[in-house]
A and B are shown apart, each in its own frame.
Chain A
């Protein structure tokens, strides 16, 4: 299904002259700086009729509409964030491939660092506890054992008489 859609849209997309990227030539903005921004923005926006494809990758008609919309806003002088705000206001957070850091996504963003820190902390505590316990449990050698040990070590260092 996606393949067919893609092909259908590819046909739509590729009517015109060559360019060096996935965007249709008639979409490209004259202002290269703005075009660069548009491309970067497109990579973080979801083609909502596709699965896990950005509008930069996708050839669905909706993706094209969104690409044009992004460029329209940029041409009107919007900042990147204003463009994203506009799209989110229209389509909801679903359109963002990189979820925003806010109340509903707090857990999503914070989980990896928290897990890493938590895991690291747990390991550190365990190491500390274990080393303390290790000190406590390792029994001290008695005076008799000390002398035996010294004798053994002395014997080791002497070359065997032969």
Chain B
């Protein structure tokens, strides 16, 4: 009954999406207020039914109703409650249902908080949003029904893939989808603006918070996924340039570019056409990501589901939306008037350069991901792996990081590069000192590593210098400076945090890749090994029974200079239902560095194969993105940016320092 209700709710959501995709559009065309307002109610009702459908699937999983194929294939009655719930989106059908539910959520949010939008714009945005929704409801109902029943209900389920039975599954996919799908809003706004043929700074003011929100979620989602892979897959890697990872990185790169170009559009009314194009491209890349992951066109670790009929359907959606929107863009973009002029050396100019580098890096990743697929179709099999990206993406991003501190230092419209460089002198000196120290201290490793450290320090101190300059700490009396610091807009703090986060992540990446050390050894109880100044003693193994697995836990005693620091307990779990086993690595965190112990098999003569890594400053890799997301959050909370907030009064503006 619950399954049928869920299924029916989904059909109703489709029907509502179809209404929402046509009626408001017609209303906007005929300037009929009543018809335009249909969009609002339809969007809210759509969320209710998509949500009901999603709740129905969760209920089925929680109650272990194995007469439903999806539950049978992905659940088990003994599975802990958390994984019963997260298992809902740990499979193809359920994850698509999560996808459309989040899409409906965003549509409803536009309907709810869009009261101050021009009525016709809101109607059109909601209609476009519903086009996307309708396509995906159809996809689910026709190819991936999560509510399909089994004729003869089995007594027990097949359990969820053990690799996915982790807290990471509770956080990573929802975050990632909130990011992916969040970009649908800027897409819908772009299409609506093209249809309307009108776009202004108010448009950018509207789009920017939504883009920022999606970007925050995507940033956290990617970072979370990377950390999950790091501790779960058991060999300490955190980024593999896997097609599925690239699929999430591409919308992030394009979305980051969009964030910056929307800024130019909002503040200076320039880059309109480009911002529209980026809005379309960012969501197109999100769709492409969904296609890559869900169609199995590129088989990889993450692509658990693969079925060609689904692939063709999503490809159809992809062609329809990307092709359609780009055609519309080509036809209407020239009608949009270009706005404010600016000199090449200006804040706008720096942001344009940022956009150029971000889009080229994004294109590099896109091309590297798709090239093997295209060439395979032409009967030429090749691989594009990490070394390719290190050689192409690496320099592009290094160049981008080099110009990051300059951007905020330049004035809008016409900047002074020499003055900016002078202000960044402190950052430059700090970076040189860091390079010198790294050079002197480093034993072995790439010669580029100290330069990487220097670049990271430059970006971080650059962000700090920006704050110092704006508050005038170095120039004016302390109390005035304090007053000014408090008066700084939150978006200024947000920028500083986000940019510093980039530098911090770079420091982590450089240190981890250059100076990590590893030890592979076969140990017997009582054996002691040394790594990176730590003494690691293998104490023994014990058997333990988990809810739906048995595990062998090994105990390692870690000490330094004869003082015991910690006991690490990596384990190996065997899941009987699927006949699979997983390695649960143990991590010991000291500061931001980690010791990582992962287990192999036991040998015939009673030894245990162990892999131990010391990863210096590794946590910075994820701390950076978290800081970036925090910066985004600060900007989002800026009153001037908040959705629908009135323009700031003159008095508030007077608090801002002169630039």
Seen from chain A, the residues whose Cβ lies within 8 Å of a Cβ on chain B are 2-4, 6-8, 10-11, 13-22, 43-44, 46, 51-54, 57, 92-99, 104-105, 107-109, 111-112, 115-116, 119-120, 123, 127, 130, 134
Contacts and interface: CB of A to CB of B under 8 A. Distances in A.
Given A10-B609, A18-B519, A21-B518, A111 B363 contact: yes
B582 interface: yes
Contacts of A115: 359-360, 363-364
Nearest to A48: B383
A93 to B, nearest CB: 4
29 contacts: A3-B163, A3-B580, A4-B580, A6-B234, A7-B572, A7-B600, A15-B522, A17-B521, A17-B522, A18-B519, A18-B521, A20-B518, A21-B518, A51-B242, A52-B240, A52-B383, A92-B382, A95-B383, A104-B380, A111-B364, A112-B360, A112-B364, A115-B360, A115-B363, A116-B356, A116-B357, A116-B360, A116-B396, A123-B352
Given A97-B383, A98-B388, A108 B341 contact: no
A108 B380 contact: no
A84 to B, nearest CB: 12
B439 interface: no
B371 interface: yes
A112 B360 CA distance: 6
Contacts of A3: 163, 233-234, 580-583
Mostly helix, strand, loop or mixed at chain A's interface?
Answer: helix
A99 B386 CA distance: 11
Given A18-B520, A44-B387, A51-B299, A94 B382 contact: yes
B451 interface: no
Contacts of A17: 521-522
Nearest to B362: A115
A15 B233 CA distance: 21
B356 A14 contact: no
Contacts of B380: 93, 104
Contacts of B600: 7, 10-11, 13-14
B549 to A, nearest CB: 14
Contacts of B387: 43-44, 97-98
Interface of B: 163, 233-235, 237, 240-243, 299-301, 341, 344, 352, 356-357, 359-361, 363-364, 367-368, 371, 375, 380-388, 391-393, 396, 517-522, 529, 572, 580-583, 600-603, 609-611
A98 B391 contact: yes
Nearest to B243: A52
A21 B363 CA distance: 35
A94 B383 contact: yes
A104 B364 contact: no
B520 A54 contact: no
A15 B352 contact: no
B154 to A, nearest CB: 23
Contact of B609 (A14, A43, A46, A109): A14
Contacts of A93: 380-383
Contacts of B243: 52
B63 to A, nearest CB: 30
Contacts of B522: 14-18
A92 B381 CA distance: 8
Q: Looking at chain B's contact residues, is the secondary structure mostly helix, strand, loop, or mixed?
A: mixed
A21 B517 CA distance: 8
Contacts of A116: 356-357, 360, 396
A117 to B, nearest CB: 10
A39 B53 CA distance: 52
Contacts of A98: 385, 387-388, 391
**6 nearest A-B residue pairs (beta carbon):** A97-B385, A11-B601, A14-B609, A18-B521, A10-B600, A98-B387
Contact of B242 (A14, A21, A52): A52
Nearest to A118: B360
B583 to A, nearest CB: 7
A98 B240 CA distance: 14
A43 B237 CA distance: 13
Contact of A4 (B368, B519, B581): B581
Contacts of A119: 356, 359-360
B312 to A, nearest CB: 23
Contacts of A97: 383-388
Nearest to A117: B360
Contacts of B388: 97-99, 108
A45 B382 CA distance: 11
Nearest to B352: A123
B581 A7 contact: yes
Nearest to A12: B601
Nearest to B376: A94
Nearest to B385: A97
B520 A22 contact: yes
Nearest to A2: B301
Contacts of A15: 522, 603, 609
B609 A11 contact: yes
Given A10-B609, A52-B300, A94 B518 contact: no
Q: Which one of A18, A20, A112, A134 has the greatest number of beta carbons of chain B within 10 Å? A: A112
A43 B390 CA distance: 12
Given A10-B601, A14-B600, A52-B242, A108 B367 contact: yes
Contacts of A21: 518, 520
Nearest to A25: B520
Contacts of A105: 371, 382
A22 B382 contact: no
Given A51-B242, A92-B381, A99-B388, A123 B603 contact: no
